[in-house]
Structure 1
């Protein structure tokens, strides 16, 4: 009787492990395919933005390149962390720290770049005669440098906070859990700082984008304003506001996961994290390519040409 119970228990455990493996494979496939697709589209967009002088010498396209670059790096790092978690690969604390800091760096660059892009659209609509003198390539480069410097300062402070953690008291630097921002929030000071910094950045960004949107709306009612240009700028700013909201959720999801983990089982938390990853991490990083790749009359024909040519080449090579 005892042997039969042990055999039944082993069969149930093996079945649960097999079901868990199938679930991980299914989730990894469903998540990996759209991620790879948009990494390909983003890479194509980055190539296009460096291929023609009109893109390299126009401020809005320079800003778009910076946004796409940070989004692409973040998407690639997020996918790498997801694969490590799905395969149950636990890196060391230094390796996870580097990956987490790079993720944090690129995650903050996106909303700050969106703010600069919104301000550029605001100047283009509200001050069209002064746009060429205010929004120059030099000023755009300075704005991008400031964005990267501000984001790097955040990473530096986080590293300094991590140095206060007593790593020497650990038995091993090998992690026992998946690598993520949550696992690298070591100590109460790191958690408080992350929440304060994230709240400050996104509150400031939301105010800046909203003010730009309101300014464009007011300017659109003026008789001297180009109605078509104002309408396009208004729609672009509205889409950027949606992007900002989704990006804000991507920084808040760690806190939500920690709260949910106290009342839900680990298996359900893993499923929720996978869903969050698709709708909060992947989706916002793909909107930039869709907004500009499909709506911008200058980029769209070039993007369609490159995508169609590559699809034809792939089809011919398979044929």
Structure 2
């Protein structure tokens, strides 16, 4: 009898430890998420507060990137809380959330690609920059980015329709909602791998091409050395962003592979660490890069972050 009560006590202690670990992990993750979300939303407001930001192509592209990153940040946190709460969703609801997350994830590397090419043209072809990089052409590029992302979502939906849902006992999922469990069938999984490879390889090649093109142009006597150096550093940061976004698409399968080796507590802590560093932080990196380095954005952003109490050191034209 005492052995039975002792085993029940041990099971209760283990369950309480797991619950406490999940609550602590959710609290630890939610705090940086709130900070990053506040910074991104403030940056979005800043980029719409002055005409100079609405009339400059790189700021319009930055707004598009930040908007997609902010939506992705909100969706990823929602999916994390659903998984941490062990809520089981239906296939249609989970499919909608994961497809929307996939849509916003695709926008980020494509926008980084266009932003890198814009910096390349600005340094290597400064005299033609104003004729090539116009607001109209920037708008067309953004429409193409969103159309390509929509086409990816449409393709995933068509592949999902091939799955024989009528053979299932119910549309209720048996596992937590994740893009891993929503890839139903080999064709869907093969398409997902191929699309990620093509997307990130293309973006990586474009950013690397722009980076080395700027380095070569910086050796020319006619090139502005300071502008070339800033563009080179920006492109290098874009490449780091791209690598982090790529890793964020594969860290869930990595955790699943480690789940058979690590204990639940260690796996939970690793999940928290990777989630903050790989999933949340890259979505705020653009705000930090441009908010700190850009002399035009920084005073206005600091003014809004301080809720208007800090006066801009350099007045920005209305």
TM-score band, normalised by shorter chain:
over 0.9
- SS of the aligned residue for 2:86 comes to coil
1:130 — aligned with what?
A: 128
Q: 1:158 to 1:65 in 2, by over 3 A?
A: same
Counterpart selection for 1:196 from 174, 179, 194: 194
* Closer/same/farther in 2, CA of residues 55 and 28 from structure 1, 3 Å limit: same
TM-score by length of 2: 0.94
Give the structure with the higher percent helix.
1
Q: Provide the rounded CA distance (Å) in 1 between the counterparts of 2:26 and 2:59.
A: 33
Q: Which residue of 2 aligns with 1:316?
A: none
Q: 1:144 to 1:162 in 2, by over 3 A?
A: same
Larger RCO, structures 1/2 (Cα 8 Å, 6+ apart): 2
Corresponding residue number in structure 1 for 2:235: 237
1:183 counterpart SS class: helix
* Paired residues, number: 310
The normalised TM-score by structure 1 is 0.94
Q: Deviation at 1:255?
A: 3.2
Match for residue 116 of structure 1 among 114, 123, 142: 114
C-alpha contact (below 8 Å) 2:21/2:265 kept by paired residues: no
1:78 corresponds, among 76, 79, 99, to: 76
Question: Any idea what SS the aligned residue of 1:172 has?
Answer: coil
2:208 counterpart (198, 207, 210): 210
Alignment match, 1:9: 7
Q: What SS does structure 2 have at the residue aligned with 1:241?
A: helix
2:276 is aligned, of 263, 275, 278, to 278
Matched ranges for 1:3-152 at <5 A: 3-152=1-150
Q: Which one of the candidate residues 172, 180, 183 is aligned to 1:182?
A: 180
Q: Give 1:274 shift.
A: 2.5
Q: Distance in 2 between matches of 1:4 and 1:175?
A: 39
Q: Which 5+ residue runs of structure 1 have no aligned equivalent?
A: 313-319
Residue 313 of structure 2: aligned partner: none
Give the CA deviation at 1:192: 1.0
1:288 aligns with: 286
**Cα pair 2:42 2:301 within 8 Å, conserved:** yes
Residue 310 of structure 1 and its aligned partner are, at CA, apart by 6.2
Write the distance in 1 (CA, Å) between the matches of 2:174 and 2:266.
Answer: 20
TM-align CA RMSD: 1.4
In structure 2, the CA distance between the partners of 1:266 and 1:191, relative to structure 1 (3 Å rule), is farther
